[in-house]
């Protein structure tokens, strides 16, 4: 059985796919905890237990590996968010979504931030392909939030003239900025405050 390698188009055997997945999983963990810039290929080799030739068989270098990590993390985050937001149609549902994110981040005292947002702060400068992939992922995530806001509009909980795309982007920025403040403070409180303030504004629009 073979599967396609999304980056070089080569067909992979089941064993090759497993090796590739092991490299990406190790790189994902290292880059999440240490940051993209501070993670070396030697560390990825050590953590995944694969040989240098195996790594270079799957990836041309660090940039290619970073792009694979973005795809991997993106898929995971979008799947989680689709499940969490796909059927939300009330402010209360949005608050439950907020509670889950804050609670999960609190387990680690906010130390590592959003898996996707952390990648965005580090790779946006030097790799246009990585930047575009991240931009598409965030657009997809914001689309899920905009969907919730449109359902709020349909039920009359949000006025029809409110710009759902703009509010969804503002809410995403509050979430991502909140993650970053929590990461620096090693305390989840600023993240909770930031999302709460953004949600309070959205809720207030229906009261006018």
Partner 1 sequence: MRTHFAEVLARESVCLAGVTDGAKLAGWRRRVVEELMTPRSPYALAMRLTGDVPDRADFLDRWRELIAETVDRLLRSGTTGDTHFSSGQSRRADVDAQKTAVLILAALHGGSTLSQISKDPWPLNAALDLALAPFAAAEGNCPIDNMNP
**Please, which residue, 94 or 134, has the CB nearer to partner 1?**
134
Q: Which is nearer to partner 1, 68 or 116 (CB)?
A: 116
Neighbours of 161 (CB within 10 A): 7
Q: Which residues make Cβ contacts (< 8 Å) with residue 40, sequence separation at least 6?
A: none
- Tell me which residue has tokens 């790779």: 123
Contacts with partner 1, residue ranges (CB under 8 A): 35, 37, 113, 117-118, 120-122, 124-125, 131, 134-135, 138-139, 159, 161-163, 166-167, 169-181, 183-186, 190-191, 193-194, 196-198, 201, 205, 207-208
H helical segments located in 35-156: 41-48, 52-58, 62-85, 91-106, 115-123, 128-154
Question: Which CB, 12 or 182, lies closer to partner 1?
Answer: 182
Closest contact distance (angstroms) between CB of 10 and partner 1 is 28
Residue closer to partner 1 by CB (options 147, 178) is: 178
Closest approach, Cβ 22 to partner 1, in A, equals: 27
- Residue 91 · residue 203 · CB < 8 Å: yes
**Least distance from partner 1 to the Cβ atom of residue 193, Å:** 5
Asked if 154 and 127 touch (Cβ cutoff 8 Å), the reply is no
Measured CA to CA, the distance from residue 130 to residue 201 in angstroms comes to 33
Whether 180 and 190 have beta carbons less than 8 Å apart is answered as: no
Q: Which is nearer to partner 1, 50 or 133 (CB)?
A: 133
**Residue 84 beta carbon to partner 1: minimum distance, rounded to whole angstroms:** 19
Contact 182, 189 (CB under 8 A): yes
Q: Which residue, 52 or 154, is less far from partner 1 as judged by CB?
A: 154
CB of 166 to partner 1, least distance (A): 5
**Selection from 114, 92, 117, 111 nearest residue 101 by Cα:** 114
Distance CA 195, CA 172 (A): 9
CB of 71 to partner 1, least distance (A): 15
């Amino acid at each position: 059985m073979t599967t396609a390698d999304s980056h070089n188009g080569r067909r992979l055997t089941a064993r090759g796919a497993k090796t590739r997945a092991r490299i990406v999983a190790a790189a994902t963990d290292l880059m999440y905890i240490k940051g993209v810039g501070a993670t070396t290929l030697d560390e990825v080799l050590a953590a995944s237990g694969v040989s240098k030739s195996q790594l270079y068989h799957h990836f041309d270098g660090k940039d290619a590996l970073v792009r694979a990590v973005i795809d991997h993390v993106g898929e995971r985050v979008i799947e989680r968010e689709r499940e969490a937001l796909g059927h939300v149609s009330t402010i209360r549902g949005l608050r439950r979504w907020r509670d889950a994110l804050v609670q999960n981040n609190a387990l680690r005292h906010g130390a590592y931030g959003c898996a996707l947002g952390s990648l965005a702060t580090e790779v946006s400068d030097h790799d246009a392909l990585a930047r575009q992939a991240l931009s598409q992922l965030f657009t997809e995530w914001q689309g899920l939030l905009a969907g919730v806001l449109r359902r709020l509009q349909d039920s009359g909980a949000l006025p029809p003239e409110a710009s759902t795309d703009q509010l969804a982007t503002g809410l995403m920025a509050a979430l991502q900025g909140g993650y970053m403040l929590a990461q620096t403070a090693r305390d989840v409180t600023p993240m909770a405050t930031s999302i709460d303030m953004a949600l309070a504004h959205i809720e207030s629009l229906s009261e006018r």
